Amino acid sequence: MERSTIVRVHDGLHARPATRFVNLAKGFECDIELIKADKSINAKSSVKLMLLGVKENDEITVRATGADAAEAIEALIGFLENPHSGTFEINTAEKIKSVEVAPVANNTVSHSHLRGVAASEGLAIGKAFGFFPAVIDQENRTITKDAIPAELARLNQAFATVQDRMNASLEIDNLAASDRGIIAALKDIACDQDLVDGATTLVESGMDAISAVIGTTSRIASDFAAIDDPYLNARADDMNAVGRQICLALLGQNDVNLDAIPEGSILIAEDIGAWDLARAPLKRIAGIVCGRGGATSHVAIIARAHGVPAVLGLGSDVQRLSNIGTVAIDGNSGEVFEDPDQEIVARFQRKIAEATAEKHALSVFKDFIPKRADGTIIEIAANIGSLEEIEAAQEAGAMGVGLFRTELLFMRHMHLPSEDFQTETYAALATAFAPYPVIVRTLDIGGDKAVSGIDFPDEDNPFLGWRGIRMCLDRPDVFKPQLRALLRASAKGNIKVMLPMVSSIDEVHATRALIDECIAELKAEGQEYALFDLGVMIETPAAVLIAPALAREVAFFSIGTNDLTQYIMAADRLNPTVAKLNDVTHPAVMTAIEMTTTAGVQAGIMVGMCGEAAGRPDLIPTFIKMGLTELSMSPASIQRAKKCIQDFG
């Protein structure tokens, strides 16, 4: 069986989404191929998958042969067509900037001034801390035929040791979710069949294990470096870093670590593995300078996620920094100053003070409760899709959750999540944000993002098809366990529930009938439960036009500006040729928002917004004037939004 589709995964199948895709494929017994143009690869190999260079909007074919081929194709196509797949557990600070790498020969501007790749914004000045672990040489020793079995056993043990070490890293309690995702991707690379088979074949031919690993990882790294894509180019560094860890295991050694780095140091390295950096005491590191790497490398991603300025790609000039006292780096321009003079020090200190003041000015809004001039509280909440995102939302000062995307909960599993599992998840959310509300969106799945356990028909336009509340009402076997879980979890905290893709009042009535059935069942079973407020998302033109009638039936509205804009403008928001039409500020869209808000205010119900527009400082004053009292956004936008409301008054 085979099926073709257009890849909607953000930025394509780079390291982490490739890992998730491969893990999903490995859950099926059948043989699975991924085909792009005239190239076909084993879909259960992360390395081969990344080397295929699958980008967003590429056309690919999934081919499966075996007993569970139909289920495999359904699940994998659903993953590829989900535009959020590439962003699970990824902090917004990780968004990649395209940066041109200056040739190494031109790096030197003056005796004390170098220029590299601006990989993570910000400025820093501090004592240089050199991190230059010993190079592991490829000896290319020939071993006798009798010694090959023992060398193979040593190689296999090294692979197992690296897996154990990476598993231990993943169990670190304070490891950030974004770093955890990077380590998981590296762990998958370290056991990839292409790497294992390549090294094994070389040892079987009579090469020593260390040379076999270096040779194989170098070959694969070269393949990555040859791809015309900056993100996939950066995976060459990951492959070399993984090879180093396997070689260290073969030598019975642990790599040197950064535990001893002093507070406020500038880390100087030829290269540093993402595994090492993710486990390092990042709060002590003021800045990072590396000879290798670019803006799309995992080192850059980790630095951005933790707000550490970084300049990468200095080439051999980085060696000049290994024995100096002080370094100043500008992560905005890519400039690095060796032992800066007083003028440069003064300039950096002034800019750092200004940036710190701005950050501090926003941080004071973490616990700020924004209000309108009449004293009405404006709730600034977070949009999240997993429990791993709770910490970032809390740190930002989220006043609850305005949108919990339950489809991600369903898409992460090979089978439909159980009622008990859903109950635990929703209850954990309610507990984490108490006493603030957590608004849970019921399953918003359609033909554009399928899940295992639900068969979707082929639709020419799934955005106008069997999705959201339409699918849920047709599948009470899927919908009722979720409603039961939400009722049970409501006993643990302040949970509200909203229905997606509503276009008629009948859909609200039908949902209430199912809720009543669930309540009766829970009572009969002696299960603890509590009632929740039921609201609807306003994202279809039909919902806007019947908003006054809907407002009499529900407890709140939440305006989903992403879908509302595409439906009002009749322009697919995933189609780049009509991207300019997806403008929330278009008079038609703003009129629809105002009509909805007026209907809700007149009915006395809460009106909120959970689309991307909710976090835009240029639009927030207008939304507040209209009467919105809840805005939900990514955690990174929360403090700025609170400040905007205060400034607006």
Residue 122 has which token pair? 């910000």
Strand partners for 630: 379, 608
Q: Cα separation of 392 and 635, whole Å?
A: 6
Q: Is 155 helix (H, G, I), strand (E, B) or coil?
A: helix
In 191-346, beta strands by DSSP E: 265-269, 285-290, 310-312, 326-330, 335-338
Q: Which residues are catalytic?
A: 298, 610
Helix axes 638-648, 342-363, angle to 10 degrees: 80
Q: Cα separation of 507 and 539, whole Å?
A: 14
Residue 577 DSSP symbol: G
Q: Cα separation of 225 and 102, whole Å?
A: 17
Backbone angles phi, psi at 434, to 5 degrees: -55, 140
Radius of gyration of the CA atoms of the chain, in A: 27
Residue 205 has which token pair? 């031919």
- The angle formed by the CA atoms of residues 63, 69 and 70, to the nearest 5 degrees, is 100
- Environment class of 48 (CB within 10 Å of its CB; exposed 0-12, middle 13-18, buried 19+): buried
Q: Cα separation of 555 and 468, whole Å?
A: 19
Residue 135 DSSP symbol: P
Residue 388 has which token pair? 């791993």
Q: Cα separation of 60 and 39, whole Å?
A: 10
Residue 415 DSSP symbol: S
Instruction: Judge contact between 274 and 251, C-beta under 8 A.
Output: no
Element (DSSP H or E) covering residue 528: none
Strand partners for 114: 108, 336
In 375-490, beta strands by DSSP E: 379-384, 401-405, 438-441
Instruction: Judge contact between 488 and 425, C-beta under 8 A.
Output: no
Q: Is 19 helix (H, G, I), strand (E, B) or coil?
A: helix
Distances (CA, A) of 317 to 128, 314, 580: 14, 6, 44
The secondary structure of 52-76 as a DSSP string is TT--TT-EEEEEEESTTHHHHHHHH
Instruction: Judge contact between 558 and 568, C-beta under 8 A.
Output: no
**CB atoms closer than 10 angstroms to residue 377:** 12
Element (DSSP H or E) covering residue 212: helix 209-225
End-to-end CA distance of the chain, in Å? Answer: 60
